[in-house]
Chain A
Amino acid sequence: MRRFLSLGLLCLLLLSITVTSQAQTSSTANADAAALELLEALNVKSYSAKGDAITAILQSDDERARDWLQALLDGRLQSTDDGRIVLVLDNSGREWPVADVLTGEALGQMSRRDLDRIGINNALRNQLRSAIAVVDLYSPNIERRRHSAERLLGEVDETLAEPLSELIAGEQDSQVVRRLSQALAIYQVESGELAGVEALRGSLHPRARVALSRAVNGDDPIVADAAASALGSIEQNLKINRGLETLYFGLSLGSVLVLAAIGLAITFGVMGVINMAHGELMMLGAYTTWGMQQLLPGQPGLALILAIPAGFMVAALAGIAIERGVIQFLKGRPLETLLATFGISLILQQLVRTVISPLNRTVITPEWMSGSLVINDALSLTLNRMVVLGFALVVFAALMLIMRRTRLGLDVRAVTQNRAMARSMGIRATRVDIMTFALGSGVAGLAGVALSQLTNVGPNLGQNYIIDSFMVVVFGGVGNLWGTLVAGLSLGIINQVLEPWAGAVLAKIIVLVFIILFIQKRPRGLFPQKGRAAEG
């Protein structure tokens, strides 16, 4: 790879000098013929021949070289049956629109039968990325330069080292300067220079760490000692970052548990209804998200935001229907309620299977929720989970507000603490029941909307979370929202701390055993509900 890099760089230096004079004088026809030859050289079976062809394109003075390499990288350079190279604009379906590779002129649709992709493998992909990175080092576009500098870490060799120091001196952007200096320092460490070791002190990039750990075993004792001490502080720093990462993973898993359980905390806690269909209400929320995205094609982000109120409404209405249709007739008979709601959960699952499909549905993650937020080289936080974590906290805060600051909340708390007393004080317990159940169900719908971004949306979605939800509610203390929050987050963290050394399966078992033991000791959970009704 380094060979290509240096070749590319050299030719680019040449290019930057000659480009102005060249472009105007050379006739386009000649350039096109030469370019065509370069591109046709790519249309061979052997990957090493393709590698050489890529180098040749880099060494050519053609300004379109970068675009061609990018198109090759994206798999859009294809050859027709008669050997012509074309640019595929869209490769979905059976008929693909194509364009001329030199002029960019549209050539209409072609069948995929008649097109052959100029295939690349991972090795060529690496070569292309490095080649594009070298080209981009000189790009006026700052994003491209940053990306390019990022790419060059650990890829610098002697031919690149010298121009690199000049580039660093002339570079304006601090991020590019920092990255390029690191890249240079890694090269220096690899070639046994002490200066590089000092420059890499504190860098968390894995390439830097690998370079330093190799230097520790190097010949020069001074460099080896310096590298060892630099490595020591890096390892220390990495440990802290790793801890933070585990904490984040735990909080994120915990936030999912909180979302799933908090609706249950309301229905189970307040009404004492063991609602086995709670998971299916979440599933309805997730399907609402899918439905919204079907209604608004091409706008997954907007659809997701609209799905929040819609998911709440759908699940709340379903909840009211369940409450009015079944649960109200089974008041005070928990076993029958459990069985009846379990039946409802099966009916809802089968309904979705029959009406929509037994297959999972694809819910698109909007652009702003993909990827991760890079804190430093060793720590980056995935965006989708961060959004869900934030969403869980917002839902929790909103629920607390409703419970503490609204009339409904007051009624609910009164009914929870002592149903008979509340009724005799004029509170319409039945109406409170309906509202509470609708609220709890609606929150389940919200959980479903959030889950659609993290897991598969299918008929079984609810089943996977119902056990966890009950676990969190029981652990936190029935009917206590704070308890649910604390329990959910702490179970998430415990699970993620255990997972690396126990494995995912065993970690779950350990958590379950822990909860069983905990419930033996404190049957009413972390934060037991106070009040006379709760005593029994």
Chain B
Amino acid sequence: MITLPYNTSARSTHLSATRSPGRFALALLAAAVMGASAQAIAQDADQSEDPIKVGILHSLSGTMAISETVLKDTVEMLIEQQNEAGGLLGRQLEAVVVDPASNWPLFAERARELLAQEEVDVIFGNWTSVSRKAVLPVVEELNGLLFYPVQYEGEESSENVFYTGAAPNQQAIPAVEYLINEVGIERFALIGTDYVYPRTTNRILEAFLKDEYGIADEDIMVNYTPFGHSDWQNIVSELSRFGEEGKRTAVISTINGDANVPFYTELANQGIDAADIPVIAFSVGEQELTGIDTGPLVGHLAAWNYFMSVDNDDNYDFIDAWIDYTGDEEAVTNDPMEAHYIGFNMWAEAVRKAGTTDVDSVKDAIIGVTVPNLSGGYAAMMPNHHITKPVLIGEIQDNGQFDIVWQTPSTVTGDAWSDYLPGSRDLIADWRKPIECGNFNVVNGSCGGSTAVEEAEAALAE
């Protein structure tokens, strides 16, 4: 999916995590040992001191730089912390940063570069769905590991990819259930940016609303706008009319990127109050709100798996570390950052468990690995390469933060294949033996096999 937070206050700090004392020590050691002409020991030292390479595949320029730079910094911070704590398996970690420049085919080339030339042990990266699709065949061919941190539209499970962001059943579906059951909403306006993630999500939601709750056609309004749309007057006035028919109405927004600023400004100016018509957003987080005066927006909602306002000491430590790392007192944290935090810790744990960074061993070891998340619970890696997450609903506050008003009683397991779409209902993903398949059809008992190459071609052709 593409989420384009238009405004991130985090500064991209160019910090090289490689400037560790390890190399210097290695050189000294090697020199000393060579002098003593004990070459065998030198080779041993070389092996164990060789750093573990962590590839970071996030756009640092172009349209997506706004969102992805923060994630690159997050991984670098996590690597730095890990090194301060003594590294992994007694080895230091080294970040290998490449810039795919918001150019989807370039993502594939950079991934190839990371895996074939740099020989990284793991990659953290991607934001948009199309870039992930472009990278898929490469990581499958070269047998790499990719941790993908952003909520997305589902309908995918690759052997080499671990999805630490939310699948639709971990964000959109619970959010709608909250609106119906807790707020008593009977009428829905689905508005979004015109591309694959909002369209797929809205397709799932429409089917869900009709099948599960019997919402009538006339009570669902769907509207799409282009990226960067700035003239919202007509749509907002239409929304307010849609909400004046005497039924409780809510707006479900999959508007992405900086178009959200004029949208929320227009909402405020036309006086659409959250108590009358709440807007629930799936792509608006703390960073998006840093650019808006949130006073008139108090009470509008967002659904995520993490909020910066989560009252938990792990979270406060993470925030403090992030503020220290960026040197920006106003820096905010967000959901994809937490996803990287979880993914990084899961990978580290799996490496410890496997005792090696070998991809196949880590891939097997990571299923079932459980690490703390930042909201006081635990995240477990499931056999379908998705993780368990709590679903939180937050209301916007006047200080640009979210106040959590509802959350699922326990964590929700990410579902790779939606139960509400006809084609994907019968599919499951399970990467354990003996199934070892990302799209196993439970009705006819056959595995569809990897379609990474075709999907990448289709995504890039668009």
Q: Is B225 close to A, CB under 8 A?
A: yes
Q: Is B213 an interface residue (CB 8 A)?
A: no
Chain A residues near B223: list those with CB within 8 A. 503-504
Asked if B427 CB lies within 8 Å of chain A CBs, one says no
Which residues of chain B are near A206, meaning CB under 8 Å? Answer: 244
Known: A382-B270, A504-B226. A364 touches B275 (CB 8 A): no
Asked if A122 meets B293 with Cβ closer than 8 Å, knowing A358-B65, A503-B223, the reply is no
CB-CB under 8 A from A496, the residues of chain B are 233-234
Q: Are A117 and B403 in contact (CB under 8 A)?
A: yes
**A384 contacts the other chain (Cβ, under 8 Å)?**
yes
9-residue interface stretch from A32-40, A422-430, A452-460, A473-481: A452-460
Q: B93 within 8 Å of A by Cβ?
A: no
A469 to chain B, nearest CB (A): 15
Q: Are B66 and A456 in contact (CB under 8 A)?
A: no
B-facing residues in A335-370 (Cβ within 8 Å): 358-360, 362, 364-365, 370
Q: Does A326 interact with chain B (Cβ within 8 Å)?
A: no
Q: Is the CB of B269 within 8 A of A370?
A: yes
Of the candidates A116, A249, A256, A358, the one whose C-beta lies within 8 Å of that of B237 is A249
Are A456's CB and B234's CB within 8 A? no
A372 to B266, CA, bound (A): 10
| Chain B binder among A209-217, A269-277, A317-325, A394-402 | A209-217
Contacts of A364 in B (CB 8 A): 293
Q: A119 and B230: CB pair below 8 A? A: no
Kindly state the separation between the CA atoms of A117 and B404 in the bound complex, as whole angstroms: 11
Q: Which residue of A122, A359, A365, A455 is within 8 Å of B274 (Cβ)?
A: A122
Give 1 or 0 for each of A113-141: 1 = CB within 8 Å of chain B CB. 10011010111011001000000000000
- Chain A residues near B228: list those with CB within 8 A: 456, 460, 464
Q: How far is the CA of A122 from the CA of B280 in the complex (A)?
A: 12
- Given A360-B291, A460-B228, A505-B225, is A382 in contact with B269 using a C-beta cutoff of 8 Å? yes
The residues in A between 55 and 76 inclusive whose CB is less than 8 angstroms from any CB of B are 74-75
Contacting B66 at CB < 8 Å: which of A94, A123, A252, A359? A359
**A248 (CB) vs chain B CBs: closest residue:** B233
Q: Is A245 close to B, CB under 8 A?
A: yes
Q: Is the CB of A458 within 8 A of B403?
A: no
- Distance between B378 CB and nearest chain A CB, rounded to angstroms: 22
B121-129, B199-207, B394-402: which one contacts chain A?
B394-402
Closest to A499 in B: B234
Residues of chain A within 8 A of B269, CB atoms compared: 370-372, 382-384
Q: Contacting B225 at CB < 8 Å: which of A129, A253, A360, A504?
A: A504
In the complex, chain A residues whose CB is within 8 Å of the CB of B235: 499, 504
Asked if residues A249 and B274 are in contact (CB atoms below 8 Å), the reply is: no
Query: In angstroms, how far is the closest chain A Cβ from the Cβ of B312?
Result: 10
Please give the distance in Å from B185's CB to the nearest CB on chain A.
11
Tally of A-B residue pairs with Cβ under 8 A?
Answer: 132
List, in ascending order, chain A residues with CB within 8 A of B292's CB. Answer: 362
Q: Does A91 contact B (CB under 8 A)?
A: yes
- The verdict on A246 contacting chain B, using a C-beta distance below 8 Å, is yes
Taking a contact as CB atoms under 8 Å apart, the answer to whether B311 and A116 are in contact is: yes
Compute how far the CA of A464 lies from the CA of B257 in the bound complex, rounded to whole angstroms.
14
Whether A505 and B268, one on each chain, are in contact in the complex, defined by CB atoms closer than 8 angstroms, is no
A454 to B266, CA, bound (A): 9
* Given A122-B395, A371-B271, A500:B238 Cβ within 8 A: yes
Per the CB 8 Å criterion, the residue count for chain B at the interface is 59
What is the CB-to-nearest-CB distance from A65 to chain B, in angstroms, rounded to a whole number? 21
A201 at the interface (CB under 8 A from B): no
Residues of A within 8 A of B245 (CB): 210
| B405 at the binding interface (Cβ < 8 Å) | yes
Q: Which residue of B lies closest to A91 (CB)?
A: B399
Q: Which residue from chain A places its CB closest to the CB of B240 in the assembled complex?
A: A206
Query: B261 to chain A: which residues have CB within 8 Å?
Result: 360, 455-456
CB pair B183–A504 under 8 Å, yes or no, is no
The answer to whether B405 and A505 have CB atoms under 8 Å apart is no
Distance of B325 from chain A, by nearest CB (Å) = 15
B398: chain A residues within 8 A (beta carbon)? 74-75, 91
| Interface residue ranges of B276-305 to A (CB < 8 Å) | 278, 290-293, 296, 298-299
Asked if A456 and B403 sit within 8 Å, CB to CB, the answer is no
Point out the residues of chain A lying under 8 angstroms from B329, CB to CB. 93-94
Taking the closest CB of chain B, its distance from the CB of A353, in whole angstroms, is 8
Contacting residue for B233 out of A123, A382, A455, A508, CB 8 A: A382
A207 to B431, CA, bound (A): 56
A382 touches B266 (CB 8 A): yes
Q: Is the CB of B234 within 8 A of A385?
A: no
Most buried by B among A117, A359, A372, A499: A359
User: B7 at interface (Cβ–Cβ under 8 A)?
Assistant: yes
Asked if A92 is at the interface of the complex by the 8 Å CB criterion, the answer is: yes
A380 touches B (CB below 8 Å) = yes
A360, B299: Cβ atoms closer than 8 Å: no
Give the distance in Å from the alpha carbon of A358 to the alpha carbon of B7 in the complex. Answer: 9
CB contacts (< 8 Å) of B420 on chain A: these are: none
User: Which residues on the B side are within 8 Å of A116 (C-beta)?
Assistant: 311
A245-B237, A359-B7 known, 5 other contacts, Cβ within 8 Å: A210-B244, A358-B69, A364-B293, A385-B233, A496-B233
Q: Which residues of A does B touch, CB under 8 Å?
A: 74-75, 91-94, 113, 116-117, 119, 121-123, 125-126, 129, 206, 209-210, 213-214, 245-246, 249, 252-253, 256, 358-360, 362, 364-365, 370-372, 380, 382-385, 454-456, 458, 460, 464, 496, 499-500, 503-505, 508
* Interface, chain B (partner A; CB < 8 A): 6-9, 61, 63, 65-66, 69, 183, 194, 223-226, 228-231, 233-235, 237-238, 244-246, 258, 261-262, 265-266, 268-271, 274-275, 278, 290-293, 296, 298-299, 311, 313, 316, 329-330, 395, 397-399, 403-406
Query: Which 3 A-B pairs rank lowest in CB-CB distance, beginning with the nearest?
Result: A206-B244, A210-B246, A455-B230
A–B pairs, 8, beta carbons within 8 Å? A119-B403, A359-B7, A359-B66, A362-B291, A382-B266, A460-B228, A504-B229, A504-B235
